[in-house]
Amino acid sequence: MLDSIDRSDPTPLHDQVAAQIRRSIAEGDAGPGDRLPPAKDLATVMGVNTNTVLRALRALREEGLLEFRRGLGVRVSGTPQRGAVTARARELVGFARQQGYQPDELISIIQGLR
C-alpha cells in the first residue's frame, strides 16, 4: 500500500505522505467507507513522524477525501476525483475573493453556467 518517503525529494514530507495515501485510494487499496490504519502505524511504515502523517491526513480531509470520526478513526469518504474537484473549488473561491467577489456572487456565476 505505502512506501517509505524519499528524503532526497524536495517535496515536503507531509505532501509526499498525502500523495501516497491519495494514490493508494486511487488504486483501490482503500475505498469509500474503509478505515485507514492509525496515524502511528502509517508513520512507522513510512518512516516519518506521526505529526507528519497527521498533517497529511488533515490535508486529505480538507480535500474531501477523508473524514475523521471520533471513536471510528479515519475513513475514506470520497474519491480522488472528488478530492481534485474540491481542491480546484478552493482555488476558485480564493481567486474570486482576490477579485472582490463574495461567495454568494460566485455561486450565482456558477449557476449561470448551466
Rounded CA gap, 71 and 86, in Å?
Answer: 26
How confident is the model at residue 34, as a pLDDT? 92
Residues 71-92 pLDDT 10s: 889 999 877 676 677 778 888 9
Cβ-contact 21, 59 below 8 angstroms? no
21: nearest Cα among 88, 103, 100, 78:
78
- What domains can you pick out in the chain, each with its CATH number? 13-111 (1.10.10.10)
Residues 38-55 pLDDT 10s: 999 999 999 999 999 999
Rounded CA gap, 16 and 7, in Å?
Answer: 10
The CA R_g of the chain, rounded to the nearest whole Å, is 16
Ramachandran category for residue 101: left, alpha or beta (phi over 0 → left; psi -120 to 50 → alpha): beta
pLDDT, mean over the chain:
88
pTM (two decimals): 0.70
How confident is the model at residue 1, as a pLDDT? 58
Does residue 5 have a pLDDT over 90? no
